[in-house]
Structure 1
Amino acid sequence: MADKDQQQVYPVVREAKNDDVESATVDSKELRKKKRLKCLAYVAAFAVFQTGIILIFVLTIMKIRTPKFRVRSATFESFEVGTPENPSFNLKMDAQLGVKNANFGNYKFHNSTIVFFYDNTPVGEAVVRNTKAGWRSTKKLNVVVDLSSRDLPSNMQLGNDISSGLLTLNTRSRLNGKVQLIFIFKKNKSIDMDCTLTINLAEKALRGISCK
């Protein structure tokens, strides 16, 4: 009888062990699944982060902006102006120009010419030497130009300007060059200058500068 009782107990013990094994197997599978999901979440988050960094890089650093070319200031080495009845001017001006480069790379440009106009007639010009504007900086250039009314057609406008005490000149120029980003990418960029200078005749000084 004792042997029979023992034989009846054994199957119950084996079923309990089987249940424990199955439970452990299920727990192990769930754990592995959670780990895989966590890894996938990390990979997805990293991919989103990298995409954001690339977009910022492309939209800011890699974006090529057009530099700006302006007259910054001017002084006069000589200053001769006629009268309203006999209008004329002969000026020697030392002008400081600026090439503002907002790119993450140099802007190299070729030789150019800046022309000064009175009433759409050229009254002087100067050479702008080739050089470069560095990363996110302004390159300052100085040019000396002789401004004379000798080639102006006869008209009353200059006499009126001398009478008012203000002489208005326009400057125009174009720079042709290349923007080089991070020593790799290059793109041709041409920039135009179109500035208006107002000269105070009584003070023999530049009163104002306006650039488009």
Structure 2
Amino acid sequence: MADLESPSMRLAPAGVKSDEQPPRTTAYFRKPKHQESSKCLVYVLAAIVFHGTIFLVFGSVFLRVNNPKLRLSTVSIQNFQYENTNSTSLNITMLAEATLDNENFGRYDFENCNSVILYGNLTVGGGDISGGRVAARNTKPISVTMRISSENLNFSSSGSDSTDQIEIVSYAKMTGRVHVLKIVDRRKTIEMNCTMSLHLTSQSITDPICG
């Protein structure tokens, strides 16, 4: 008589065949939502810092506005009339070559202005500078005709001035605007202050020294 307790005689649970294996359950690991949110916040902050750094570098290099520089480079005499009898009389025409140096990353539009010739505190002559434009990172040559016309000058015989040589100053004040990428539009006023020596006997002038 067969053993009722043998494995072959055991009854399977209802609904399950004896030759089938029970189904397996696969568990999936999910990161907590707060960790995903923290990573997103870090990425956003890193992107903000990166773009902010790029903007600061761009602004400090390209959008920074400096004063253009106006300097006299050469001065030549075209006409020279000098009389020294009871008083000194001067009638001189000079052709000056100036340079306008624009180091900005935008053009500089400048207005008409005057260049004056000073002897001490006296204005003894001058010339007109026409308005114009100098491109970004460029230098523009400017020709200026200046005239000295003065009567009854009293030259000092002490110091660097004498009856043969006098020290004169060419001064100009120029106003304009710097335009950078249609973002920056800034008004800039620059000054030119150049000293030179006028030799009366040789009818010549030394190269100007601009401060």
Match of 2:73 in 1: 72
Match of 1:197 in 2: 196
1:173 aligns with 2:172: yes
Identity among equivalent positions (%) equals 26
SS at match of 1:174: strand
SS at match of 1:208: coil
Cα distance in 2, alignment partners of residues 62 and 138 from structure 1: 19
SS at match of 2:65: coil
Aligned-pair Cα RMSD in Å: 3.5
Please report how far the alpha carbon of residue 45 of structure 1 lies from its aligned counterpart in structure 2 after TM superposition: 4.6
Match of 1:145 in 2: 146
Contact 1:73–1:95 (CA under 8 A) maintained in structure 2: yes
Match of 1:98 in 2: 99
1:118 aligns with 2:119: yes
Match of 1:59 in 2: 60
Cα distance in 1, alignment partners of residues 114 and 186 from structure 2: 22
- What amino acid maps onto 2:171 in structure 1? R
* Structure 2, unaligned runs of 5 or more: 1-5
Cα distance in 1, alignment partners of residues 158 and 92 from structure 2: 14
Please report how far the alpha carbon of residue 5 of structure 1 lies from its aligned counterpart in structure 2 after TM superposition: 9.8
Contact 1:196–1:209 (CA under 8 A) maintained in structure 2: yes
Please report how far the alpha carbon of residue 189 of structure 1 lies from its aligned counterpart in structure 2 after TM superposition: 1.5
Match of 1:156 in 2: 156
Please report how far the alpha carbon of residue 95 of structure 1 lies from its aligned counterpart in structure 2 after TM superposition: 0.3
* Structure 1, unaligned runs of 5 or more: none
Please report how far the alpha carbon of residue 198 of structure 1 lies from its aligned counterpart in structure 2 after TM superposition: 2.6
Contact 2:196–2:207 (CA under 8 A) maintained in structure 1: yes
Please report how far the alpha carbon of residue 185 of structure 1 lies from its aligned counterpart in structure 2 after TM superposition: 2.8
Q: TM-score, normalization: structure 1?
A: 0.74
Encode CA deviations 1:72-104: one digit per residue, 9 max, x unaligned.
211111334456996554322100122221111
SS at match of 2:108: strand
Contact 1:86–1:159 (CA under 8 A) maintained in structure 2: no
User: Which structure's CA Rg is the greater one?
Assistant: 2
Contact 1:88–1:149 (CA under 8 A) maintained in structure 2: yes
Change in Cα spacing, 1:14 to 1:196, as seen in structure 2 (3 Å) is: farther
Match of 2:132 in 1: 131
Change in Cα spacing, 1:203 to 1:187, as seen in structure 2 (3 Å) is: same
Cα distance in 1, alignment partners of residues 208 and 155 from structure 2: 25
Change in Cα spacing, 1:84 to 1:195, as seen in structure 2 (3 Å) is: farther
Match of 1:210 in 2: 209
Cα distance in 1, alignment partners of residues 160 and 89 from structure 2: 11
What is the aligned length? 196
SS at match of 1:150: strand
SS at match of 2:136: coil
